[in-house]
Structures are given as C-alpha cells and as structure tokens.
Amino acid sequence: MTQKVAETYDHLADKHFTAISKVIESRVGIKLPPAKRTMVEGRLRKRVRALGLSGLQAYGVHLFDRDGLDDELIHLIDCVTTNKTDFFREPSHFEFLRDVAVQQLTQRHGGRPPNLKVWSAAASTGAEAYTAAMVLQDMVAAGKVARFSILGTDISTEVLREARSAIYPRAFVEPVPSPMQQRYLMRSKDPRDDLVRVTPELRRQVHFERLNLMDESYPFDRDVDVIFCRNVLIYFDRATQQEVLSRLASHLRPGGYLMLGHSESMAGSGVDRLRSVAPTIYQAGLAVNGRSAA
C-alpha cells in the first residue's frame, strides 16, 4: 500500500480529535471545529512519522492514553497553528510607519530622531519583523531614526528557529523592493542555491522569543512604540480577543501604535485606551495632566 493510499484510511479517533481541540483552545485560544479536522490530521502526519508511530490513531493513544501530552504539547501546538506570513504584507502599515508614525514620534521627542521599540507579536518566520527592520534601517540612514530594536514573538518554536536563521527562498522575498534586496539580503555565491539570508547588521536589530498570547502577562517592556499583531486575533473568540488587546495596549507608550490585520478590529473590545487613527491602526492615548487621554 502506498503512503498516499495509507493516509486515506488514517484518521484520529473522534475522542482524540475532540481532546486535541480542547487542549488547543485552552492553551492557545484557537478553536478547531470539525471542519478543521482534515487540516489538523494533515499537519499531524509529519509529527507521526517523526515519532515513528504507526498512524494518527496511535498518535492519539500516545497523547491521551499513555501520558505523552506534556512532552508533546509544544510540538502539537507547532503543528496545528497557522503561520502565514510574507514580506511587506499589508504594505499600508509600513507606509504609515515610515510616513506618519515616525514623524509623530519624532515630534514627541522634541524634533530629535527617536530610538524606537517595535514588537511583532505574531512573528511567524520573521518576515514582518525583518520588513519593519528594513524600513527603519533606511530611516536610520536618512537621519530620521536614531536607533531601533525589534522584538518578534510567536508560540511556535519551529517558526522561531526559522526566524532566527533569517534564511528564505528567493521567491519568498520577491515582495521586497529591489533596492532593499540589494542592501539587506545576501545571496549565495553558488548560483544553484535558491536561498537568501538577511544581513548580519539587520539581524542584530531583531531578536525573537517564544510567547503565548494567552498568557496572563507578557514579560516585555511597557514603553513600546509600535506593536504589530496582525491576522491572529481572528482565531480567538471575542473574550480572548479583548484580553489579548488589553494586554498589548498596556505595553504601548503614550502615543504608540497598534496595527491589526485587515480583517480585524478593536470595535467592541472594551479597550478605551486606544483610538482609531487609520484603518486597522490604533494609537494609545497621550498623557494629559498625568492621565492617559484617548
């Protein structure tokens, strides 16, 4: 029997899919309805092979009948979480960063080029964080930014390894403007090698940490200038969205910005510290007489 035919008959037991769904929702906040079952099974098959198990049913037994869940949890999360990302995805956000946010933050620094802190809160393989780094490094070169640092976080250890390596297929970096590719991407001397790597100078400005946005608190600075949290809230229920937005807002300095995905909104979130300044872009209230004003 071929592998493809074997996989046709290889499925999780109903009770194990239900148990996995409950674990992922409680630990990560992501719902896995029955419609996601085929997707989940497809992603778990690679893990089944890595463990040398006979199939998905054996994987379910390993997790829930043989007490393997604690050791396997991080790998399970890596498998089922979605990590879609691109360089210069939703480019209007990076245009706003360059043309509006930095200018306003400069004014708040008395006209001096600011030192900026940026947080990519669902960093995946790093494209978002490195895109912001390219934009800001150009502004450093133009004297419009003094220094910057970028934090990228994600729940998936697998994608964070890729982000730290900063190695990508050439086709993946096509959205990067050609001049930036020349400045910030290194190509192999071997023309057969279809990979590029972000330059060491840019990599030094970006670091990555594992973080579950479901955690009750985030062990990071509370004076961040710009937070990107795009296309992740859509996987959470309304209550979890409100909790995550409130925690993120608490890490913005007055006047800082939060950028959400194109299909996400703060409407009804109950986080009154942030006000809308552009589609999917929100600004933390500025301090007035010692208080925050929206």
- 10: CATH: 1.10.155.10
d(CA 116, CA 224): 8
Does one domain contain both 172 and 209? Answer: yes
- Digitized pLDDT (tens) for each residue of the chain, 294 residues in all: 445 434 556 899 999 999 999 998 888 778 888 998 998 999 899 889 999 999 999 999 999 988 889 888 888 888 887 677 899 999 999 999 999 999 999 998 888 888 999 999 999 999 999 999 999 999 999 999 999 999 999 998 989 999 999 999 999 999 999 999 999 999 987 777 889 999 999 999 999 999 999 899 999 999 999 999 998 888 888 888 999 999 999 999 999 999 999 888 887 777 878 999 999 999 998 654 444 444
Same domain? 69 vs 26:
yes
Looking at the structure, do residues 76 and 95 belong to the same domain, yes or no?
no
Residues 156 and 250 in one domain: yes
Does 277 lie in the same domain as 158?
Answer: yes
Together in a domain, 159 and 62: no
In this structure, the answer to whether residues 63 and 160 fall within a common structural domain is: no
Active site residue 194: no
Q: Cβ distance 56 to 240 under 8 Å?
A: no
User: Token pair of 100, please?
Assistant: 């509006």
Host domain of residue 36: 3-80
Query: What's the pTM?
Result: 0.81
| 121, 133, 135, 148, 171 from 201: Cα distances, Å | 22, 10, 14, 12, 22
Q: Looking at 43, 170, 183, 197, which residue is catalytic?
A: 43
Work out how many domains the chain is built from and give that number: 2
Per the residue annotation, which of 78, 154, 203, 225 is the catalytic one? 154
Domain final residue, candidates 80, 104, 129: 80
Whether 289 and 164 map to the same domain: the answer is yes
237 is catalytic: no
